[in-house]
Structure 1
Amino acid sequence: MILTNNTIEKLSMSILNVLNKRLDWQIEEISFIDNGVVNAVFLINEKNLGKLAVRTPWRSEENMMDKDSSGIISLKKEATISEHCHKYQIPVPKIHKLYLSNEINFLVSDFVSGDNQEISSYDIGELTSKIHTVPLDGLSIVDQNERTLSNIVSHRIAERVKSLSKLMNINIVVPSQEEFETILDTSQTKNSLLHLDVRQPNLIGENGKIKAIIDWDNAIIGNPIMELMRISESEELNEGEFLKGYKEVDIIKNTDAVIQSIYRLDTALMLSILFTFFINDSEKRDYYVKRVHFLTQEIRKYL
């Protein structure tokens, strides 16, 4: 399904109707900014609040009052986590309104402008460390459903192995879900809020300084080693500079290598599928498929 100009027009009119007529806001203008797989983003100018961003699911099947749809979950997660982080001075756009109905669902937040200047991996490491030290204070992630990260990752690896094996017509043999979960549960590292998609496109900056971190769709509560291994495995940041900014690297030294490898495997599987099915990049696909085989062998050495 493609986001058409007709859909953009319908969404903007629905947003204006709700804000002006139902919520008594005074919207002076609205314009389309961008869209992802699930959400479209609009810029509005409210008379009293100024420039705001409106995020709404653009696929018709997502913009319904189905609590289990990824569109609704995405909005709820962004609202809940941003409001929580805002209390602890994590740079996130301030949330103004989460609106859910049978007609349209959207989230209104501050509009944070930025430029295209790259943010240093050191500064991103510092921010990630701050996120990992935010008090949880009863924070609940809507799609985690009180499951542990160990349970989620072990189940996800099994599913991703099946998917990649089918896509590539290859045989990947990994330990059982129960074995993975048991190993991951041995970690004594304290749980943290994890963003799990820390990279340049999800950071808004100006003159190289971070103004906001956005897109909490992958966020979860669990072992911060998961985040560090994902950043390392995805290779989108300078890992050395990132860790200098993160500073608390002792948690890596104090974590068993097999646990690190399992979290790396989860990421390598995800990227293998991404570059096989969603993004046609044979070079990256082949690299991460090799990583899957290597990490599988490494894990088996410890069993």
Structure 2
Amino acid sequence: MGLTNKTIEKLRLDIDNVLNKRLNWQIEEINLIGNGVINAVFLINEKNLGKLAVRTPWRSEENMMDKNSSGIISLKKEAIISEHCHKHQIPVPKIHKLYFSNEINFLVSDFVSGDGQEISSYDIGELTSKIHKVPLDGLSIVDQNERKLSNIVSHRITGRVHSLNKLINTNFIIPSSEELEAILNTSETKNSLLHLDVRPPNIIGENGIIKAIIDWDNSFVGNPIMELMRIFESKELVEGEFIKGYNNLDIIENTDTTIQSIYRLDTALMLSILFTSFINDSEKKDYYLKRVHFLIEEISNNL
């Protein structure tokens, strides 16, 4: 079921009640400006703080006080990582309030507006490099639970292959998650904070200058090669320009190609499922199915 007008109005009233009556803010207006699968985003105008964005899970099951619900995890993750990045001069919206209750959960941050002008892949490469250089300082990702990225990705790949086989009635065969994880663990590259959804819709800019990067839902701590392979495989940026901005070609050249292929496969599988089940784009569906076949064959031949 989609987001209904009735739900929008209830969320609006609940936000207004908490901010004005419980927190004694002075809210002058609240308007819905967007929504996704999990969250709705409202623009509010607070007398002293100005324009702010309020992100709240809109599905009824996501407004429960279940610490493991995707809605609560999403809010916590965005708040913790944004505050960490803000401390290290990464352009992110400033966090003002993370609020949980039995009635409604939400995150309030600065509202950062953009003009829709294209941001260069070079500049996005520079920003990604800065993110990868942010000191971790004990940063813990809410839904990573101290697991290694190699463990998460290897199990996710086998799960996605199983799902894709059922979707298109085929029989892709890949090495076990244990084998994939062992290969990924041979990398000696230092772990970094990874955004893992670096693409134009998540970069807010004005006059071609980056003002903020948003949406840390996919973020983990792990090998930065994972981020680079995801960006290259998804093809939403100009790879050559991005690499120039990232300015660390050695990290790619010094990483075993099988490791690169495994991380690419994770993305190719995700996009194959996306264009098979959720977005009707036969050209991209066929392209990524071919990529899955090629990458599985390449990985298997290198074992």
Which TM-score tier does this pair reach, normalised by the shorter chain?
over 0.9
Q: Distance in 1 between matches of 2:164 and 2:282?
A: 14
Alignment-derived partner of residue 271 in structure 2: 271
Alignment-derived partner of residue 182 in structure 2: 182
Alignment-derived partner of residue 262 in structure 1: 262
Q: Distance in 2 between matches of 1:105 and 1:249?
A: 42
Alignment-derived partner of residue 54 in structure 1: 54
TM-score under structure 2 length normalisation: 0.99
Alignment-derived partner of residue 66 in structure 2: 66
Alignment-derived partner of residue 286 in structure 2: 286
Residues 1:131 and 2:159 are matched in the alignment:
no
Aligned residues: 303
SS at match of 2:216: coil
Following TM superposition, by how much is the alpha carbon of 1:293 offset from its aligned partner in structure 2, in angstroms? 0.6
Residues 1:252 and 2:252 are matched in the alignment:
yes
Following TM superposition, by how much is the alpha carbon of 1:257 offset from its aligned partner in structure 2, in angstroms? 0.3
> How is 1:18-167 mapped onto 2 (pairs within 5 angstroms)?
18-167=18-167
Following TM superposition, by how much is the alpha carbon of 1:278 offset from its aligned partner in structure 2, in angstroms? 1.2
SS at match of 2:63: coil
| % identity of equivalent residues | 82
Q: Distance in 2 between matches of 1:290 and 1:172?
A: 11
Alignment-derived partner of residue 5 in structure 2: 5
Q: Distance in 1 between matches of 2:130 and 2:140?
A: 19
SS at match of 1:157: helix
The AA in structure 1 aligned to 2:82 is: S
User: Unaligned stretches of 5+ in structure 2?
Assistant: none
SS at match of 2:211: strand
Deviates more, 1:1-10 or 1:191-200: 1-10
Alignment-derived partner of residue 295 in structure 1: 295
Q: Distance in 2 between matches of 1:63 and 1:288?
A: 35
Q: Distance in 2 between matches of 1:113 and 1:150?
A: 36
SS at match of 1:152: helix
The AA in structure 1 aligned to 2:217 is: D
Residues 1:172 and 2:167 are matched in the alignment:
no
TM-score under structure 1 length normalisation: 0.99
SS at match of 1:86: helix
The AA in structure 2 aligned to 1:23 is: L
The AA in structure 1 aligned to 2:208 is: G
Q: Over the residues paired in the alignment, what is the CA RMSD in angstroms?
A: 0.6
Over residues 273-292 of structure 1, what are the superposed CA-to-partner deviations in whole Å (9 max), with x where a residue is unaligned? 00011112111111101100
Q: Distance in 2 between matches of 1:278 and 1:66?
A: 27
Q: Distance in 1 between matches of 2:15 and 2:179?
A: 48
Q: Distance in 2 between matches of 1:91 and 1:192?
A: 17
Over residues 126-154 of structure 1, what are the superposed CA-to-partner deviations in whole Å (9 max), with x where a residue is unaligned? 00000000000000000001000000000
Over residues 165-184 of structure 1, what are the superposed CA-to-partner deviations in whole Å (9 max), with x where a residue is unaligned? 00000010000111000000
The AA in structure 1 aligned to 2:284 is: K
SS at match of 1:62: helix
Q: Where has structure 1 moved over 3 Å in runs of 4 or more?
A: none
Q: Distance in 2 between matches of 1:278 and 1:56?
A: 23
